């Protein structure tokens, strides 16, 4: 007999007290235990999953490696399967995957999202986006975990030219890997999963939203962190910003200028939430308070203690929306502003003050012919290809009817200092959700904005057990109540803040430790 049903320890709930100590509640949930894991795992080598098992047109899949692996921090084991999902005919490259099947399974699965242009296998064995070292890994909690390379190998963007490879990258690999895991789980444990989740950040955040919107029948809940959900809009903005930094002489800020700007923003805005803690929490007040022109050089000559006219012009471009000549899908008319004047890490944009330090990042996407030596571009020449790409990739529609009606749950997290995915873009997306669903939006979606958080790091490097929060919501019907987020790195690692629902921010109550979430309340302007 290969499995046993038992009542075991389920997903843990992470709580933060006034001290950094972690408290874990361990509710009992049914588990499946595999009694002959070594033999069973080995039997999956060269296993073929027929094309008929996939909803999308796909070739057969094959398991090329099967090994029983011990957890790094426990005595448990899991069966690690690696292999490939073949494309139908010669339509595109394989989807390479890894699936991890724990010996003691909680009858739930988690798909890990990718990052950037993908092209490398997401293993699914470690931390998830927004989790961190103090949050238990899903595999250690008994989840089946899995990931893929999204259907192409390598970090380039040549795959855009192949429709199948690009569709896989944009969303289709989500469905194909989920269908694969459905078969493998049923064959390995003899019973299907009770719950299926998706979690990711950046490109993985876009994938989580795609999972909820396109493949809502396959997922009970998703966590989307700082989702790069509108690639073409962001590419336009990034390259326009790069033009004003390096296409116009003197536009870039040196490292000294960047430090000056950061210090000036903190001086003006840090205490607007009642706490001088190195975090600009009251963003709306900061936008109204900080005066960039006060840093202008009197002689307009470059100097570390002031900013020149070209530098100020570059920053002003980032700090206002870039309006498109032609709307993107779903009526998106602009992108930005970016948080360049809110204390963000502007080295993402300016590098160390030389074009070479950011040239690779700001290289144009394959369908977008932007160049650093041109202030404008004829949008008519790229409109068709950009819109076609955005139609496949973007998640800008507020239509989540299928997900909402089947009881799916969405946790959305965004940082205010993200210079890659601007908080304003995610705000606008959630505003559309609220516009479509009204008060009903809270029944299936919660949006949290973290002040000081950038693209996975920042002045406040947020760490939260969002997977357990999601699982509890799905299982009990109770949304997260007063969640708390922890700063994971830096001199202030361990301090906590309330995780406030948009548009609220953490405001200091006037007494108590600045390192304790209990000293703050969620307030709106």
List residues with catalytic annotation: 202, 418, 455
Tokens representing 119 are 């092209």
Q: Are strands 195-201 and 484-487 parallel, antiparallel or unpaired?
A: unpaired
Please give the full DSSP string across 359-396, using - where no structure is assigned.
Answer: TTTTPPPTT----TT-S---HHHHHHHHHHHHHHH---
d(CA 287, CA 294): 14
Q: Are strands 409-415 and 221-225 parallel, antiparallel or unpaired?
A: parallel
- Evaluate the CA torsion angle 149, 150, 151, 155 in order and state its sign: negative
d(CA 37, CA 68): 7
Please give the full DSSP string across 423-453, using - where no structure is assigned.
Answer: HHHHHHHHHHHHHHHGGGGGGTEEEEEETTB
HSE (side-chain half, CA atoms, 13 Å) at 178? 30
Q: Is the distance from CB of 95 to CB of 147 less than 8 angstroms?
A: no
Nearest to 232 by CA among 387, 405, 402: 387
Nearest to 83 by CA among 67, 106, 107, 104: 67
CA distances from 87 to 133, 150, 200 (A): 37, 12, 24
HSE (side-chain half, CA atoms, 13 Å) at 442? 8
């Amino acid at each position: 007999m290969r499995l046993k049903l038992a009542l075991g320890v389920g997903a843990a709930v992470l709580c933060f007290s006034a001290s950094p100590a972690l408290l874990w509640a361990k509710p009992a949930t049914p588990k499946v235990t595999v009694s002959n894991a070594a033999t069973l795992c080995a039997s999956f080598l060269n296993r073929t999953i027929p094309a008929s098992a996939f909803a999308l047109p796909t070739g057969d899949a094959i398991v090329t490696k099967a090994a029983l692996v011990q957890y790094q921090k426990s005595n448990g084991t899991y069966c690690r399967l690696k292999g490939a999902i073949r494309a139908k005919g010669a339509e595109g490259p394989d989807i390479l995957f890894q699936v991890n099947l724990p010996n003691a399974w909680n009858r739930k699965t988690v798909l890990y999202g990718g990052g950037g242009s993908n092209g490398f296998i997401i293993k699914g064995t470690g931390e998830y986006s927004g989790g961190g070292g103090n949050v238990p890994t899903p595999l250690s909690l008994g989840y089946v975990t899995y990931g893929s390379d999204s259907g192409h190998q390598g970090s380039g963007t040549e795959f855009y030219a192949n429709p199948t490879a690009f569709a896989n990258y944009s969303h289709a690999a989500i469905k194909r890997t989920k269908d694969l895991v459905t078969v493998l789980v049923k064959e390995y444990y003899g019973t299907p999963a009770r719950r299926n989740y998706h979690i990711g950040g950046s490109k993985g955040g876009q994938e989580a939203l795609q999972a909820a919107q396109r493949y809502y029948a396959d997922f009970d809940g998703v966590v989307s962190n700082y989702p790069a959900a509108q690639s073409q809009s962001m590419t336009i903005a990034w390259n326009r910003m790069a033009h004003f930094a390096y296409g116009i002489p003197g536009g870039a800020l040196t490292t000294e200028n960047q430090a000056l700007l950061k210090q000036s923003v903190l001086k003006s805005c840090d205490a607007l939430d009642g706490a001088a803690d190195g975090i600009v929490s009251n963003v709306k007040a900061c936008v109204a308070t900080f005066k960039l022109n006060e840093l202008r050089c009197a002689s307009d000559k470059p100097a570390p203690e002031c900013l020149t006219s070209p530098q100020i012009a570059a920053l002003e471009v980032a700090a206002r929306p870039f309006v498109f000549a032609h709307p993107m899908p779903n009526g998106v008319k602009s992108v930005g502003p970016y948080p360049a004047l809110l204390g963000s890490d502007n080295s993402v944009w300016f590098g160390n003050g030389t074009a070479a330090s950011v040239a690779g990042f700001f290289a144009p996407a394959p369908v977008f012919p932007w160049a650093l030596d041109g202030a404008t571009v004829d949008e008519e020449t790229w409109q068709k290809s950009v819109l076609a790409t955005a139609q496949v990739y973007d998640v800008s529609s507020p239509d989540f009817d299928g997900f909402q009606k089947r009881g799916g749950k969405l946790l959305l997290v965004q940082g205010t200092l993200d210079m890659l995915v601007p908080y304003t873009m995610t705000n606008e997306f959630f505003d559309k959700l609220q516009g479509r669903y009204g008060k009903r939006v809270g029944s299936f979606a919660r949006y949290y904005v973290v002040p000081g958080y950038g693209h996975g790091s920042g002045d406040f490097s947020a760490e939260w057990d969002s997977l357990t929060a999601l699982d509890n919501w799905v299982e009990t019907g109770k949304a997260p109540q007063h969640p708390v987020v922890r700063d994971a790195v830096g001199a202030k690692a361990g301090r906590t803040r309330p995780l406030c629902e948009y548009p609220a921010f953490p405001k200091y109550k006037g007494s108590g430790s600045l390192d304790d979430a209990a000293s703050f309340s969620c307030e709106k302007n």
